[in-house]
A and B are shown apart, each in its own frame.
Chain A
Amino acid sequence: MVESIWVMASGDGSWCGLVLRSITPMALRYRRFSWLLVRNLRKAAGGGGGGGPLVFVKRFPRRVLSVLSNLPLAIGEMFAIAGLMALGTVIDQGEAPDFYFQKYPEENPVLGFFTWRWILALGFDHMFSSPVFLGMLALLGTSLMAALTQHRSPWLRLQEGGIFCTQLRQSVSRNFQTICPGSIQDLGVILMGAGYEVFLKGPSLYAFKGLASRFAPIGVHLAMLLIMAGGTLSAAGASEAQSMLARDLQSIVLYDQEGKFVGVRRPNSKLPIDIDGTRIVIEDAIGSTGLQLKTDPGVPVVYAGFGALMLTTCISYLSHSQIWALQDGTAVVVGGKTNRAKAVFEDEVNRLLDHVPEVVESSSLSKQSDMISGFELQKEDNSSSFYESFRSLNVRS
């Protein structure tokens, strides 16, 4: 079932790759990306960093991008935004300066230093439109965008995962590794039965499941960017005609003298409402009193972002599991990696491995195993012997 095999290796021997072009149905989709692999690997061999899907991004100084997409920075930004929001709920918003003079006086500062000067200088009286808060949000936005570029082309990463090396001790980070007796073909069949996509080449095997979950974080970041863009649009373009007017004679939106929203009342309910100290009951609504108009250009964008966020968050709950296996004599060395439910994954794989039938005797397998078991003892940075083993494996196929 294997059409052709490409063998790739970097100039310094730091990594290797076997890519198979197979005609199994799922693999057909990845055929066209093998050329992408070649192109990108050649570039990577030249010492490049992350090949993002957007070409113009490459013109940005790489250092700026790598600084902006730093994970601790992002976490710090999120903490800062959370803290500012909490502060915004504690400090009363939108009051006259006198209020703050009284509540946070200089003679008796809250927490020993917090006076009205801090509040008015930093804009905390209108926290959610203050430069500090908006600046933090903008910074988070740039971090999100930088993080997007750092996701290397998803197809490239898939092919990277499809690279299964003859040495399981290559720098593939695994969650667990185990060994089970049997043949690797049986393991492949069992994995296929369990819903994995299996790639089998000679003594080595690669299988994965749940590919969507790998791309879900990208989707979440994109959705957040959409929402932020929509919010910016709203802030820039929204306008409202405020008054005490009937919307559709069934519900009346009420604003007080300063234009702050107070509440909604329906005439039939006769529920009272307090506005500016007076209690009002809406008795009836007569037509021809006018309209409340509100235009908000950002709403469709924000709704699109909402939908995308809901969807991608749900998808990211699924786990993306990968399994590498290598035939070693009459046994198979299996390594696995997953991004979500780690303990459950281990149990699942163990249960699957229990089903692999033991191979009692196999003459051809033992010859192959002599060749391969020598590989496991080699060190990772011993490039020359690595090439030797590689070449000899190539010869065998």
Chain B
Amino acid sequence: MFVTDIRKEFYEVVANQRVALLVASDIDALCACKILQSLFHCDQVQYTLVPVTGWQDLGTAFLEHKEQFRYFVLINCGANVDLLEMLQPDDDSVFFICDTHRPVDVVNVYNDSQIKLLIKQDDDLGVPSYDDIFRDEDDEEGGDSGNESDEGSEPSGKRRRFDEGAVERRIERQRAKREWEARRREILFDYEQYEYHGTSAAMMFFELAWVLTKDTKDMLWWAVIGLTDQWVHDKITHMKYVTDIATMQRHVSRHNHRNEDEENSLSIDCMRISFEYDLRLSLYQHWSLYESICNSSYTSCNFKLWTLNGQKKLQEFLADMGLPLKQVRQKFHSMDMSIKENLREVIEESSNKYGMKDIRIQTFGVHFGYKNRFLANDMVHACAALLESAEKDDGDNFINALDSLSRSNLDRLHSGIDLAKRKLIAVQQTVASCICTNLILSQGPFLYCYLMEGTPDVKLFSKPMALTLLCKYLLRAFVHSTRNKRCKLLPLIMAAPRDVEKGTVIVVGIPPESETSDKKNFFGRAFEKAAESTSSRTLHDHFDTSIIELKTEDRSKFLDALITLLS
């Protein structure tokens, strides 16, 4: 069931109890976790935090902890599947689920006792009504048997008529039931067909903190990072992003106004969050401007920087703005102040001439100490790079990424930024090589691309978030580079080797690229059906159903099944 008053129905319930936090591996979940942890520290609620990377992990963690904990909080996992059936908990376990995955499973919505959803009942949930999906079987049976028992007491003369009446009624009831079941299947199919994302979990917990008036600037910053993560990884529509930014902006101005009345201004070490209408160039303040333009998907795709023509256009663009190459290639901090002052406006003006109307995006930046300025975008990239670093195992990665979000662990954040730079360069080079060597094939209802094992940096792309990012950039680049009008509207499936020893590949499907895309992804169900029909050995372990693992040998038959399914 949906929780209406998050303070009474969630926080006050767990405040005196011990709680197990099961947190998924994405940045939004990490930010939500940090906010909840600070609230728990404030009120001394004992908890245990367990990172989970997929359904199997979730099951194992639950089994290990179910004896000791009664209350479980699931962050960014668990809403889109029938949780009670999967975990088989005892009757007194209560699950609080704060998950952005939609659609929410109907059993979770209509369970009143054990599942509490910390999700806003937005308009876009579209949950089917109770009567359409659930029906009490008892009434009909009772009616039938009642009639039959009546029959015995009636005189034999009328019995046949009554028999016929009863039989007719039964046939009618069965027909109605079959109709109802058919309608139910249709409704559920429509409801569960597309997968998408809702409001950020970090924002939900920030709202909880605000309602408790325990919100701090740190929590606000984490909420902003959680929202930005959804935008960077293309999980929400632009409209929703802008609306949520406006909500966050209200909180930011409220926090900033708190200190305006004081006579002494804030110390330089205090944290300041400011609204920025900043450039869409990834990590540009921690890199050189030139590198940032080359490696951000927006500019790279619009200029088509994998072609010679594109490179020339870039040089023209820089010349048009009057930025000398020497300045632009050095670290951003070392650029001349005169150039840095009006940089955003200058770039916006020139980009309009080159067809890039949205080079600036609304976002937030943080500033503490003399040297430390970060945009929300930068934090997301750094944290994501740490979370999926190939050098360490999952547990360490989770801990590193979680630590990098705290202000006191700046060195970790900087190492994350370095990893993010390498990741962006790798993505860019892979995109360029895929486009130039025509690795993207049109299979009819979708585009398909397979990363061979010898591709440089292929280890980076064995992780789901990195592969999804590559997939999105690749599709955007493809749409910009192809002349085939039909291909521009196709979705993309990408496969990359995951584990060479076990012989598995990871397959990701994303919806087609368009300005007004609603980001709804149908590949989850499609993958399931294709795997069933070909009995391919697949592992649907990830919380996003559009990401699966597959045995390399089964790849071709799986693809064929998909093609027939989607044609």
**Do A and B come from the same complex?**
no
Q: Which residues of A contact B (CB under 8 A)?
A: none
B residues near A (Cβ < 8 Å) are: none
